[in-house]
Amino acid sequence: MRHRHSGRQLNRNASHRKAMFRNMANSLFQHELIRTTLPKAKELRRVAEPLITLAKKDSVANRRLAFDRTRDKAMVGKLFGELGPRYDSRPGGYIRILKCGYRTGDKAPMAFVELVDRPQTDGFDFDDDFDFDDED
C-alpha cells in the first residue's frame, strides 16, 4: 500500500531520483529556465522552492544545508547572493511551469520551468521580430 508516500517514483530508484533532482535544481538556478517533462517539472518544484526559501535568510547553518542539498559551492553562492535577496519580499511561488507541447520521439508532455521575476535577456523579442500590423 502507498499510504502516506508522497511524490512520484518516475521509474527510478531513490538514489537516482535524488541525484536527478539535485542536478535539475542546479541547472534551474544556473540558467533560470530549463525544459523537461511535465511530471519532472512538477516534482522539481518540491525540491527547488524550499532551497530558495532557505536562501532568504543568510546564515552559516542555512548555507551548509543548501550545500548538503546542492553539492555545488557556486550554486550556494548564487542562491544566497542573488536569488535569496531577489525573492525576499515574495512569500512563495518562485517557480513557474509552462506547458510547451509534446516531445517528438515519444509524445511525452514537456514543460518549461523558469524562475519568476528572472531578468530578461536581450535575445528574442516578439515586438521587434514580428510585425503584427503588416497585412499582406
Residues 91-116 pLDDT 10s: 999 999 999 999 999 999 999 999 99
Residue with cell 526559501: 53
Copy the grid coordinates of residue 77. 553562492
pLDDT digits (tens, 9 = 90+) for 44-77: 999 999 999 999 999 999 999 999 999 999 999 9
Residue 43's closest CA among 27, 28, 21?
21
122 pLDDT band, cuts 50/70/90, is low
Domains parsed from the chain with CATH numbers:
14-117 (3.90.1030.10)
Q: Would the pLDDT of 10 be above 90?
A: yes
Q: 8 and 79 in contact (C-beta within 8 Å)?
A: no
Closest CA to 25 of 72, 86, 85: 72
- β-partners of residue 111 are 36, 99
- CA 111 to centroid of chain Cα atoms: 11
- Among 25-34, 39-48, 125-134, name the one with the lowest average pLDDT: 125-134
> Residue range 20-24: average pLDDT?
98
Cell of 74: 557556486
CB atoms within 10 A of CB 44: 22
102 forms beta bridges with: 109
The per-residue b/e assignment along 63-84, b for 16 or more CB within 10 angstroms, e otherwise, is bebbeebbebeebbebbbeebb
pLDDT band, residue 120 (cuts 50/70/90): confident
Question: Residue 48: CB partners within 8 Å, gap ≥ 6?
Answer: 24, 25, 28, 29, 94, 95
Bridge partners, 13 (sequence order): none
Confidence band for 133, pLDDT divided at 50, 70 and 90: low
In this prediction, residue 9 carries a pLDDT of: 96
What's the pTM? 0.87
